[in-house]
Amino acid sequence: MIVVNKRIPVQPEKVFAVLADGWNYAGWVVGASHIRRVDSHWPQVGSRIHHSVGPWPFNVQDVSCVLAVEENKLLELEARMWPMGSAKITLTLTPDTEGGTEVQMAEKLARGPLSLLPEPVQAAMLAPRNTESLKRLADIAVHRDL
């Protein structure tokens, strides 16, 4: 499992509000390029974001599905990009003593050919991408008017 962390200087409620708005997904997830539809009950367990991954015209249309959720604390997703595979992603939000949020993003390539790559190779691919994703999440959470 590849894990990255970022402190965001807003309360967990503000960070979770970004995650709970599925239309923001392509704004903070590196690689997601277009949101086609968000299930009306997002982010409840089983709900999906229907998205494209990758650059046009080579993008793949697929979905990300909620596996678990605890409002203002946790969002666990299965992010798919078939035929390359899927990943289990867990975002954990922990309030800090200064009114901010420590966000941990853990990802494991779960199925498909990419999951067969050795963990050091996976880490070389995922850690920089996920670090950038958390930077984008922070920018939206900090600058979004709620």
Task: Please report the pLDDT score of residue 15 as a whole number.
Answer: 98
Q: Does residue 7 contact residue 135 with C-beta atoms inside 8 Å?
A: no
- Per-residue model confidence as pLDDT tens digits over 9-21: 999 999 999 999 9
Pull the structure tokens for residue 144: 């979004």
Task: Please report the pLDDT score of residue 53 as a whole number.
Answer: 86
- Per-residue model confidence as pLDDT tens digits over 56-115: 888 889 999 999 999 999 999 999 877 778 899 999 999 999 999 999 999 998 888 778
Report the run of H or E that residue 129 belongs to, with start and end: helix 119-143
Question: Cα–Cα distance between 28 and 42 in angstroms, integer?
Answer: 17
Residues whose CB falls within 8 Å of the CB of residue 49, separated by 6 or more in sequence, listed in order: 22, 25, 35, 37, 38, 39, 42, 63, 64
Model confidence at 146, in pLDDT bands (50, 70, 90)?
Answer: low
Task: Please report the pLDDT score of residue 23 as a whole number.
Answer: 96
Q: Which SS3 state, helix, strand or coil, does residue 94 take?
A: strand
- Per-residue model confidence as pLDDT tens digits over 28-53: 999 898 999 999 999 999 999 999 98
Q: Does residue 93 contact residue 101 with C-beta atoms inside 8 Å?
A: yes
Task: Please report the pLDDT score of residue 60 as a whole number.
Answer: 85
Q: Where are the domains of the chain?
A: 2-143
- Does pTM surpass 0.75? yes
Model confidence at 144, in pLDDT bands (50, 70, 90)?
Answer: confident
Question: Cα–Cα distance between 17 and 19 in angstroms, integer?
Answer: 5
DSSP 49: E
Q: What is the phi/psi pair of residue 41, to 5°? A: -100, 15
Angle (nearest 5°) at CA 98 between 93 and 100: 30
CATH numeric code, 2-143: 3.30.530.20
Question: Cα–Cα distance between 84 and 81 in angstroms, integer?
Answer: 6
